[in-house]
Structure 1
Amino acid sequence: MSSTASGGISLSLSKYEVQIKRVAGQEDILLPQKMSKAASGYDLHAAVSEPVVLAPGERKLIPTGFALSMPPELEAQIRPRSGLAYKHGITTLNSPGTIDADYRGEVKVLLINHGQEPFTIGRNERIAQMVFQLVPQIELAEVSELTETVRGAGGFGHTGR
């Protein structure tokens, strides 16, 4: 499959099969879905048995009702939904959360309420998004000296405000 980028460059896009399995008893929970054709993220839905209230400052692990099996060259990242973050202060902790290719348990989302009001999460409510990323195979090589750069060891705020 190939696609043409805005600069007229032809890109070759690979397809990867990711298997998805519903957790028993969660057959009514919507599977992850893109909300537009060009969306990069798949919206995830809450598989809560009853509404869950997140008080301001509180965090809870919310189940999604599914598990994944993906090839080793992929990871799934769990990210906040921008609308929930902007309108209610609801976001994900350890963002992005990482689902490794060898994990087979139920995908869960760690949510926190940074807002001023309690927030109620209902069954099948969209709570986060999942984006798949390639994971390059890296070989770490211990050395006695690193190559030099102009920046050097300058970190946190070294270029100004």
Structure 2
Amino acid sequence: MSRRPPVEVLLRRLDPEVPVPAYGHPGDAGVDLVTTEPAVLAPGERAVLPTGVSIALPDGYAAFVHPRSGLAARCGVALVNAPGTVDAGYRGEIKVTVVNLDPREAVRFARLDRVAQLVVQQVEKVRFHEVAALPGSVRGADGFGSTGGHADTDGPAGGHELASVDHDREGL
């Protein structure tokens, strides 16, 4: 199986002490982003943390800022707009909007702490065609929680009835 060469991304370090984002392990999808400023977030507090880097992505690509699973599990830190989108035309500093969801403990970030990960992906351009009605599907308009899977749910999300389907559902 042939492997595509890595996508070339131009990077500008706005702070010379910030490491060039790198993959932690072979096969990782995201590179680590650090913060350039220390911060303390009280329970429920959010902050916008600078990362000290800006990038120039090739047309047809976008970068997505994802939370770090360890921060979420250990400290209750989440990203307010996860994933954050960095468009190919954006040249400003990448910033990360974090929130402390822990109800009791403050979260402290030191300068150069890893705060998020950046995943670069190819994205497709689309052209929308307005129509009076969309073609049917098995799922229909069923949305949030429509497949169940949580012990506290009692059927589809919000108690909405499943859309009727005019075919045999056996074997689905």
The answer to whether TM tops 0.5 is yes
Q: Give the whole-Å Cα distance in 1 for the aligned partners of 2:23 and 2:125.
A: 28
- TM-score by length of structure 1 reads 0.86
Letter in 1 for 2:106: P
* Greater Rg by CA: 2
Q: Tell me the alpha carbon deviations over residues 13-40 of structure 1, each in whole angstroms, 9 at most, x when there is no partner.
A: 35321100011xx101112111111111
Letter in 1 for 2:68: R
Corresponding position of 2:143? 155
Cα 1:158–1:39 change in 2 (3 A) is: closer
Unaligned regions of 5+ residues in structure 2, if any?
A: 154-172
Say if 2:126 is the partner of 1:138: yes
Q: Give the whole-Å Cα distance in 1 for the aligned partners of 2:117 and 2:139.
A: 35
Corresponding position of 1:58? 45
Q: Give the whole-Å Cα distance in 2 for the aligned partners of 1:159 and 1:67.
A: 40
Unaligned regions of 5+ residues in structure 1, if any?
A: 4-12
Q: Tell me the alpha carbon deviations over residues 34-62 of structure 1, each in whole angstroms, 9 at most, x when there is no partner.
A: 111111110101111xx210111000000
Q: Give the whole-Å Cα distance in 2 for the aligned partners of 1:28 and 1:156.
A: 44
Corresponding position of 2:8? 17
Corresponding position of 1:9? none
Q: Give the whole-Å Cα distance in 1 for the aligned partners of 2:139 and 2:71.
A: 37
Corresponding position of 1:44? 33
Corresponding position of 2:167? none
* Contact 1:45-1:128 at 8 Å conserved across structures: yes
- TM-score by length of structure 2 reads 0.81
Letter in 2 for 1:44: L
Q: Give the whole-Å Cα distance in 2 for the aligned partners of 1:96 and 1:19.
A: 21
SS at match of 1:86: helix
Using the TM superposition, name which of 31-40 and 57-66 deviates more. Answer: 31-40
Aligned alpha-carbon RMSD (Å): 1.5
Give aligned-pair identity as a percent: 42
Tell me the matched-pair count.
Answer: 148
* Contact 1:31-1:45 at 8 Å conserved across structures: no
1:137 is displaced (CA, Å) by: 1.5
Say if 2:67 is the partner of 1:76: no
Letter in 2 for 1:156: F
Q: Which runs of 4+ in 1 moved over 4 A?
A: none
Q: Tell me the alpha carbon deviations over residues 68-112 of structure 1, each in whole angstroms, 9 at most, x when there is no partner.
A: 001121111001111111000011111111011110000000010
* Contact 1:59-1:112 at 8 Å conserved across structures: yes
Which structure has more strand as a fraction of its residues? 1
SS at match of 2:70: helix
